[in-house]
Amino acid sequence: MGTLGGWMNDLLISWGFSPKYANMFDETVVAALIILLAVGLNYFFQAIVVGGIKRYTRRFPRKWNTLLVERKVVHHLLHIVPGMLIYMLLPLAFVKGKGMLDFSQRVCAVYIIVSILFTLNAVLLVMLDIYNSKEIRKNHPIRGLVQVCQVVLFFLGGILSVATLIDKSPVTLFAGLGAAATVLMLVFKDSILGFVSGIQLSANDMLRIGDWVTLPNGTADGIVQEITLNTVKIQNWDNTITTIPPYTMVNSTFQNWRGMQESGGRRVDKRIWLDLDTIRFCAPDELERLCKDIPLLVGYVPDKGQVPTNSQVYRVYIERYLMSLPVVNQDLDLIISQKEPTEHGLPIRVYFFSRIKAWREYERIQSDIFDHLLAMAPRFGLKLYQGI
C-alpha cells in the first residue's frame, strides 16, 4: 500500500522538491490523482451510458425511458461509481496519515449517501409523473404523499450524513433530536397539517384535480389544478391563480360542483315577476283563441268546472315549452310554480335542468329560454313587473 506513496515521494524529490515538502505533499498529490481519475471515469460513464439512453429514447420514445432521461435517474446513479472508487483507492494515498484517511473516507461516504438520495428522489418523481399520466390521478392525487416521502427521505439522509461525518451512530443523533422535537414541529407545522388534511381530502373524496370549487368568502371560484403537501392551486374563471392550504379546505366550508358535472344536468332556477294588476280569469273565447294561436297549448283543457286564470295558462305554456326542448333534461325535476307575492309582484318560479353544463353554452341557453318566456307573457294579457 505504501508503494504508490513512496513512488510519488521519489518523483517529487526528482523534480527538485526538498524531502521535507515531498513528505508533506506526496499523499495529497496521490489523492488528487485518484480524484481526477474517478472524475474522468464518471464523465466517461456519463457519456457512454447516459448518452446511449438518450439516443435510444430519441429512436424509441416511451414513457418510462423519457422520464428516466428528464428526471436524470441514471445521471444521479452513476455519481455513486466515482464515490465508491475514491473510497476504495484512498488507502493507497494516505498511508502515513491515518486520521486524514479516516476523514476523507467519511467525506466520500457522505458524497455516496447524497448521490443515493438524489437517485431515490428522481425515482419518486418518475413514479409521480407516470401516476399523473393516468386518469385515476384525478380521483386520488398523490403529489402530497410523494412530497412527504421526499421530506422523510432527505431528513433521514441528512441525519445519516451528519452521523457519518462526525463518526457517531445515527441512533444517537435521533435520540438527541427528542429535545428539539418542539422546534421541528414548529418548522414542519404547515407540512404536517397539509399532509393530514391531504389524506382527509383524498380519503373522503372531497376534492380532486379538475373539480370546480367555490369558496364562500369569494377568494376562489374555479378549477383545481394541483393538490400538493402545502397548497391547493385553483385557477379562477378570470385566469388568476389562488393557492389555499389544504387544512383551510378541511376546516372551512367550500362548494364542489363535481356532483353537477357528473349528473345529467345543470340546474336553472329563476323567477319571472308578473304585475299583480294584470292577473285575471280567462274567458272561454280567449282560452280558445290562445289554444288556437299557440301550438303548444293545443289540446289543453282546464279541469271540469274550473275557470283558469291567464297566469295559470301561462304556467302551463312554460311547462310544455320546456318539455319540448331537447336541451332540457326531462328525467330530472321540472317545476313551474307560483310563489308568495311580494312588493315586486307575483313570482313565477321556473326550475329545470339543462343537459348542457359548460358555462358559456349554459348561460346562452338559459338566456334564450327566458327571452322567449318574457316575450310570450304579453300574449296571455300579462305584464312583467318593472318597478317604478
pLDDT digits (tens, 9 = 90+) for 177-201: 665 666 666 666 777 777 777 767 7
Residue 377: the pLDDT is 95
Which cell numbers hold the place of 374? 318574457
Instruction: List every span in the chain annotated with CATH 2.30.30.60.
Output: 158-260
Domain 158-260 has CATH 3.40.50.1240: no
Sign of CA dihedral 213, 215, 216, 218: negative
Residue 24: the pLDDT is 45
Q: Is 13 exposed, middle or buried (0-12, 13-18, 19+ CB in 10 A)?
A: middle
Structural contact between residues 235 and 241, judged by C-beta atoms closer than 8 angstroms: yes
Q: Which residue has the higher pLDDT, 91 or 215?
A: 215
Sign of CA dihedral 140, 209, 361, 372: positive
pTM of the model: 0.51
SS3 126: helix
SS3 243: strand
Average pLDDT of the segment spanning 312-324 = 95
List, in order, residues 6 or more apart from 81 with CB less than 8 Å away.
38, 41, 42, 45
Residue 373: the pLDDT is 96
Residue 276: the pLDDT is 92
Residue 3: the pLDDT is 47
304 pLDDT more than 60: yes
What digits encode the pLDDT tens for the residues 124-163? 888 888 887 776 655 566 776 777 788 788 888 888 888 8
Instruction: List every span in the chain annotated with CATH 3.30.70.100.
Output: 263-380
CATH number of 263-380: 3.30.70.100
What digits encode the pLDDT tens for the residues 61-87? 777 777 777 888 888 888 888 888 888
Sheet with 212-214, strands from edge to edge, namely 241-244, 232-236, 221-227, 212-214, 255-256
Q: Which residue has the higher pLDDT, 106 or 32?
A: 106
Least confident of 231-245, 249-263, 278-292: 249-263
Q: Which residue has the higher pLDDT, 374 or 4?
A: 374
Average pLDDT of the segment spanning 331-351 = 93
Residue 326 CB neighbours (<10 A): 7
Instruction: Please provide the average confidence, as pLDDT, over all residues in the chain.
Output: 81
The closest alpha carbon to 25, from 102, 104, 94, 98, belongs to 94
